[in-house]
């Protein structure tokens, strides 16, 4: 499974970049909207260009069209181009009927008035886990339904932990995790690796520790936030994680873990199959909060949304298509197609676990997870995130102390957002 991210640059620059996008986007929005209505064609855009042709995903989408009595014209863009193209299409009056958007992008389009609310479409989202649907909420309205979610946890190498005498069940808070890393390092292996790269992936990986400290994204320089960054910096200084973490993406950090030289790696649901195929036995535990319990990890994954249409009669069929994709069976099918999205409802999660009980830790992690734009952050999130990953970079590189780095980040956020 791929992990889905939406960069701060894309979110904040989307509206300003429309002219440029018209000349360089990956598809032609002209004629894909209202022109298809008379012929019974409904347009569907998603960020899965790897699932083309006769793929399981393509067939699923087409089946939902058949059940609604229409033909679906599906177009796939990469994640960045999809958001920009959707904005451009709205400006031209050619919005697609259905879009699957990376969850942080939902607030961008809803704040611009481009999306229908679930109430307007007549959907009941009460069965969806509140922590997951929150990523699609803004100012008391909900603008889509998550088709599933992925998140982060700690994979571990059973051989490395056994050699160090570490029981993964003993890792319940930051202190016990640090002790485990010290024991692993003393046994001759690397304690842990993670992605601290200066992009959204860096913020994504830091957020479980940030939130697990009790910090809030509206106050980047709180004592709790500083403590979280001091934790990461301390691990680097003590050699419990490699210096490469400052440049690691989630892919490169996974490659480090697959060498067999590390006890733990922070990574996501999308590595489940790769972990099963590793040359060593692996396990997974949830990321601990500072004083015990589970730290909220950020959610990845898409929302199914319905852009506003001039022809409101189209919504009846759109509703049928969305309903087809969001049944308990549909959620499980999506989870298996993308190996693995965790369904966003308890019924879907239970059905998934009946098929694969090994995903129990991931289901639990998703239940504890949190949307990056939750807390009504909306389009403020990209600004905050960029300052957060910059602070992480400055602290890990030694350019500033964690306190200094986060104070500068907070000052920059306040200057930009007011």
CATH number at residue 273: 3.40.190.10
Residue 100: the pLDDT is 97
Query: What CA–CA distances, in Å, run from 287 to 296, 352, 366?
Result: 8, 22, 12
- Clarify whether residues 72 and 214 are in a common domain: no
Mean pLDDT of 71-76: 96
- Clarify whether residues 327 and 313 are in a common domain: yes
| Within-domain flag for 97 | yes
Phi and psi, residue 171, nearest 5°: -85, 100
- Clarify whether residues 280 and 354 are in a common domain: no
| pLDDT of 83 higher than 50 | yes
pLDDT above 70 covers what percent of the chain? 91
Please tell me the total count of domains within the chain: 2
Residues 6 or more apart in contact with residue 208 via CB below 8 angstroms: 152, 266, 287, 295, 296, 297, 298
Q: Which of 127, 199, 48 is nearest to 349 (CA)?
A: 127
| Within-domain flag for 2 | no
- Clarify whether residues 292 and 350 are in a common domain: no
- Clarify whether residues 228 and 327 are in a common domain: no
Range with lowest mean pLDDT among 25-29, 365-369, 402-406: 25-29
- Clarify whether residues 214 and 109 are in a common domain: no
Q: Which residue range is the domain that position 333 belongs to?
A: 8-149+299-368
For residues 353 and 364, the answer to whether their CB atoms sit within 8 Å is no
Residue 52: the pLDDT is 82
User: CA torsion 157→233→171→212, rounded to 10°?
Assistant: -120
Interatomic CA distance for residues 145 and 128, integer angstroms = 8
Span 205-264, pLDDT tens digits = 999 999 999 999 999 999 999 999 999 999 999 999 999 999 999 999 999 999 999 999
Mean pLDDT of 167-191: 98
| Within-domain flag for 84 | yes
For residues 220 and 214, the answer to whether their CB atoms sit within 8 Å is no
Greatest Cα-to-Cα distance within the chain, rounded to the nearest angstrom: 70
| pLDDT of 311 higher than 80 | yes
- Clarify whether residues 270 and 345 are in a common domain: no
Residue 53: the pLDDT is 77
Mean pLDDT of 298-305: 95
Positions of E strands within 301-415: 302-305
């Amino acid at each position: 499974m791929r992990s889905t991210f939406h960069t701060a640059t894309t979110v904040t620059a989307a509206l300003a970049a429309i002219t440029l996008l018209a000349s360089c986007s990956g598809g032609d929005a002209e004629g894909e909207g209202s022109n298809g209505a008379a012929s019974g064609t409904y347009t569907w855009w998603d960020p899965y260009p790897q699932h083309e042709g006769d793929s399981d995903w393509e067939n699923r989408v087409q089946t939902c069209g058949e059940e609604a009595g229409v033909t679906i014209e599906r177009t796939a863009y990469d994640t960045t181009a999809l958001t920009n193209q959707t904005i451009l299409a709205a400006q031209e009056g050619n919005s697609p009927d259905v879009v699957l958007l990376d969850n942080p992008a939902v607030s961008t389009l809803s704040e611009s008035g481009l999306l229908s609310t679930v109430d307007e479409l007549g959907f009941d989202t009460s069965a969806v886990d509140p922590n997951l649907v929150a990523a699609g909420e803004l100012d008391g309205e909900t603008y889509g339904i998550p088709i599933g979610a992925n998140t982060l946890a700690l994979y571990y190498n059973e051989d490395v932990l056994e050699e160090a005498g570490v029981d993964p069940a003993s890792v319940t808070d930051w202190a016990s995790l640090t002790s485990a890393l010290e024991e692993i390092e003393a046994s001759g292996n690397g304690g842990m690796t993670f992605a601290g790269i200066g992009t959204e992936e860096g913020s994504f990986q830091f957020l479980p520790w940030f939130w697990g400290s009790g910090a809030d994204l509206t106050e980047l320089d709180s004592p709790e936030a500083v403590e979280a960054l001091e934790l990461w910096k301390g691990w680097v200084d003590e050699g419990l994680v490699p210096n490469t973490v400052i440049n690691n993406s989630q892919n490169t950090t996974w490659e480090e873990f697959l060498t067999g030289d590390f006890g733990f790696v922070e990574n996501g649901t999308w590595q489940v199959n790769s972990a099963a195929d590793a040359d060593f036995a692996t396990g997974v535990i949830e990321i601990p909060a500072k004083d015990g319990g589970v730290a909220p990890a950020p959610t990845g994954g898409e929302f199914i949304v319905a852009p506003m249409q001039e022809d409101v009669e189209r919504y009846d069929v759109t509703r049928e298509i969305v309903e087809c994709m969001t049944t308990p069976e549909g959620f499980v099918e999506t989870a298996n197609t993308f190996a693995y999205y965790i369904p966003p409802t308890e019924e879907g999660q239970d059905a998934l676990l009946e098929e694969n009980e090994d995903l129990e830790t991931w289901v639990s992690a998703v239940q504890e997870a949190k949307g990056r734009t939750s807390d009504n952050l909306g389009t403020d999130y990209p600004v905050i995130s960029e300052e957060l990953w910059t602070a992480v970079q400055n602290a890990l590189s030694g350019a500033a102390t964690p306190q200094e780095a986060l104070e500068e980040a907070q000052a920059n956020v306040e200057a930009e957002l007011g």
